[in-house]
Structure 1
Amino acid sequence: MLHPTFHNPRIVLRSPPYEIRRLGWGEFLIVANVVLKVGCAWVIPPGIDVRDTGILGRNLTLEWKLDFRDQGSHINFTWKVKKEREAPEVENEEQVEEQEHLENET
């Protein structure tokens, strides 16, 4: 989610490349929520406490202060993903959302 002053501040990327570029000024907090497809899981490196990662199930929340002063700032995040199991066949977005809801309850 970009700052509300950006045109189209909520961006959903469903296929690679998972990258956005925008020009702006000032500074603000930017939040990215990454949701893996059903059947995939995050790979947590050894020695990393999952509570310190922003990962909850298949969801990863990232926050950082974006600053456009001088040369500006950027940040890269890299997380590995593994195929956990075969994903059940789904016919539409409602089934995907229902499957995610059921998984989050457990």
Structure 2
Amino acid sequence: MSDTVQKHPSEEELIQYALGQECGELEEHITTCSQCYEFVEEMRIVKAAFSHIDEQPVSGSVRNKIFESIKKDTSLSKISHFIQHWYTYPFFIGLLTIFWVLFLYFIYIFSQ
């Protein structure tokens, strides 16, 4: 029984090949695999389209707006970082545990 499953290279490898990095194994695979060949050709078309774009200078007002939006995002990111990673702070976990135990204790006392 022969293995007919063909192992495809990663997208990163195909993109590097499309941008000019030479690799004999990839060349062999691309000549036999139409799916990978089409992907490489699409990446070459994208590369050709972007090669005509020149770097443009950014005006001072646009730069200031970008920096202002970054400052706003960083203040909110500290809060969202805490919310996303609250369980990594041992002090907070201990505090939460103490409040939970006290809450259950008061429920027990007042339920009798």
TM-score using structure 2 length: 0.22
Say which one has the larger Rg. Answer: 2
| Larger fraction in strand | 1
More helix by share: 2
Q: Please, what TM-score do these two structures have when normalized by structure 1? A: 0.23
